[in-house]
Amino acid sequence: MEAMKDIVYLHKGDSIELVAPSFGCVTEPYKTRLEVAIHNLKKEGFKIIEGPNIYLAKDKIRSNSPKECAREFNEAYLHSPAKAIISVGGGEIMDEILPYINFKAIKKAPFKFFMGFSDNTNLSLTLTTMADTPTVYGPCAPSFAFKPFEYSTKDSLELLLGKKKRFEGYPLWERYPSPDNSDPLAPSLFNEPKTLRLSPKGPIQMEGRLIGGCLDCIVNLCGTRFDHVREFLETYKNDGFIWFLEACDLSPVSIERALFQLREAGYFKYCKGFIFGRPLCYRQRVFGINHINAYKRSLGELHLPMIMDADLGHYNPSMPIICGAKAIVTADLDNSFVIEY
């Protein structure tokens, strides 16, 4: 039987390598934010290794060619002294680097955290399911430009350092970003109160192994040779699974179609419940269907608990989640939401 790699946490003084498997930080506000983030992380006591692609846009929609993006990541995981790897951005077509990722060697190599979100699901999910390697679905490097660290950046550093095992949802979120687009370092405007939606109507408690990421990417991987989800589920079936999912480009009806596909592909076998983050189509309706309807219409017949509009996804802040780790997840109608590893 396969075994999930043991997590090895960072220490101050360790090296972190920054990579660009999708977008590079060429345009504003990302370039300035990355430069300031590197400064801030060094001030926190980390050594920062800058991957060769982080300031490139050779492929327009990606920092470099698929082979060169994969080369950067393989080198960082297999040959770099870095103890963790953080992506500098999301993007659109990171999936095209997967044929060149050395999953077999990574599976045998010592553990390193990889952290990123959105398009980085193409690595965070496949590393977990193909190489039995826990990953962090969490902020990309430019997020660390904002001091003091708070909410998701503060939690992410404490997670990587092993200082914190219990993570609580946040009181506010940013639906409408700062109107000052001229300032790359304009602070976030946490201007919306959190309102969790629960099915059944709380309290909810789930225990299992966390798995998930950006739904747009997961449904795209489903059925490809990089889809090892069902083998992963069978390997760890005694633990049960909690799926955490959020959507970027998908409309409510696209979310419903995607969940249908994953359900019929057997992804939700041994599932104990779901965590759904706020999708970018928040409050959008298509043919009278919103994202909440989409979840319930696709998954209601499974009769599993659902935590909806959680602090996860493309709206800031987004709680870091360890893909592949066992956890207890609780939520209640007082808007409390806790993940405890």
In a domain, 74, yes or no: yes
Do residues 149 and 200 both lie within one domain?
Answer: no
Which whole number is the average pLDDT over 210-221? Answer: 98
Q: Is the pLDDT of residue 49 over 80?
A: yes
- Domain annotation covers residue 171: no
Identify the CATH number of the domain in which residue 91 sits: 3.40.50.10740
Decide if 155 contacts 320 (C-beta within 8 A).
yes
pLDDT at 142: 98
Domain-terminating residue out of 148, 164, 180: 164
Residue 173 covered by a domain: no
Point out the domain boundary residue: 144, 164, 184.
Answer: 164
Q: Is residue 2 domain-resident? A: no
Query: Based on the domain organization, do 134 and 31 belong to the same domain?
Result: yes
Q: Which of the four pLDDT bands, split at 50, 70 and 90, describes residue 177? A: confident
Same domain, 156 and 198: no
H-only helix segments in the chain = 30-43, 66-78, 103-108, 121-131, 151-160, 215-221, 229-235, 252-264, 291-299
pLDDT tens readout for residues 115-158: 999 999 999 999 999 999 999 999 999 999 999 999 999 999 99
**Structural tokens at position 165:** 């095992």
CATH code, domain carrying 225 = 3.50.30.60
The answer, yes or no, to whether residue 216 has pLDDT greater than 60, is: yes
Question: Domain count of the chain?
Answer: 2
CA distances from 280 to 45, 183, 193, 307, 318 (A): 35, 23, 16, 17, 13
pLDDT at 2: 67
| Percent of the residues in the chain that have a pLDDT greater than 70, as a whole number | 99
pLDDT in tens, 150-170: 999 999 999 999 999 999 999
Phi, psi (deg, nearest 5) at residue 239? -85, -25
Tell me the average pLDDT across 209-216: 98
- Regarding whether 203 and 332 lie in a shared domain, the answer is yes
Domain match, 142 and 21 both: yes
Q: Which tens digit of pLDDT belongs to each residue from 246-273? A: 999 999 999 999 999 999 999 999 999 9
For residues 154 and 265, membership in a common domain is answered with no
218-228 residue pLDDT tens: 999 999 999 99
Which of 146, 164, 182 lies at the terminal end of a domain, its last residue? 164
Residues 38 and 100 in one domain: yes
pLDDT for 188 equals 86
Query: Is 42 domain-assigned?
Result: yes
Domain containing residue 215: 192-340
